[in-house]
Structure 1
Amino acid sequence: MMRSRRVFVEGLRIEAAIGIYDHEHGRTQPLIIDAVIDLDRHEIHGLKDTLNYELVGRIAREFLAKGHIRLVETLAEDMAAALMELPHVQKVELSIAKPEALSDADRAGVTVVYAH
């Protein structure tokens, strides 16, 4: 028996004015966003009945358009909370990586999980 549907976006690349260090101000840097969104079980007849993948990028860009963000955690939490407000959403697992954060690592970042 199906209990939920899972919509996902992997590897969404976006440029962001983000970071707490002086060298991170006045420039952008890449972020990589992964989102897994569980929807409740309901009938789907069209796009209005599900979650459009494009919303993940749109929500990210809306928060980033407000200006410099100090912490990746802030962006992740704000995005997850916004996604949780959408119809049929039961759970959001959102990861944001900063590939340039550490010179000796592929990526560093944060994952947040929100659920009803």
Structure 2
Amino acid sequence: MTLTSRRVFVKGLKVEAGIGIYDHEHGRVQPLIIDAVFDLDLHEIHGLKDTLNYELVGQIAREFIARGHIKLVETLAEDMARTLVALPHVRRVEVSVIKPEALSDADQAGVCVVFTRD
């Protein structure tokens, strides 16, 4: 047998953020839902140091949110993805940021970005 793929993921991470470009979005927080899917290197794993600690997804999201109001979900998704793809063992990351309250007549609206390690 040969290992051909290794994925680590975080689905449905719920955070609150000051986000949006419209006047009514300033001065308040809104819910966001974040998903991240990672393709990792295929080396042997003997412990946490050899893989991705998925707790970092929430930590990194909260660090960006703590910096202050974010205008676009694209900005948050791209900033997170750039940071996450630079972590050890990560080959590719896909980050989705969903803004559930963005459209009253839709279940979800958001963005998905994919970054690959150079």
User: Shorter-chain TM-score: which interval?
Assistant: over 0.9
Report Cα offsets for 1:32-79 as digits up to 9, x if no partner. 001100101111111111111110000000001100000000000000
Instruction: Determine the C-alpha separation between the residues in 2 that align with 1:32 and 1:6.
Output: 20
Indicate whether 1:90 and 2:91 are aligned.
yes
Aligned to 1:55: 56
Aligned to 1:101: 102
Secondary structure in structure 2 of the residue aligned to 1:4: coil
Secondary structure in structure 2 of the residue aligned to 1:19: coil
Q: Could you tell me how far 1:110 is from its partner in structure 2?
A: 0.1
Instruction: Determine the C-alpha separation between the residues in 2 that align with 1:25 and 1:110.
Output: 20
The letter for the 1-side match of 2:16 is E
Instruction: Determine the C-alpha separation between the residues in 2 that align with 1:103 and 1:81.
Output: 31
Residue pairs, 1:5-84, within 5 angstroms: 5-84=6-85
Greater strand content? 1
Q: Could you tell me how far 1:3 is from its partner in structure 2?
A: 2.8
The letter for the 2-side match of 1:51 is L
Q: How many residues align?
A: 116
Report Cα offsets for 1:70-108 as digits up to 9, x if no partner. 000000000000001100100001100000000000110
Is the 1:3–1:40 contact (alpha carbons within 8 Å) kept by the matching residues of 2? no
Instruction: Determine the C-alpha separation between the residues in 1 that align with 2:57 and 2:4.
Output: 23
The letter for the 2-side match of 1:46 is G
The letter for the 1-side match of 2:71 is R
Gapped regions of structure 2 (runs ≥ 5): none
CA RMSD of aligned residues (A): 0.7
Instruction: Determine the C-alpha separation between the residues in 1 that align with 2:43 and 2:69.
Output: 39
**TM-score between both structures, scaled by the size of structure 2:** 0.96
Instruction: Determine the C-alpha separation between the residues in 2 that align with 1:74 and 1:115.
Output: 17
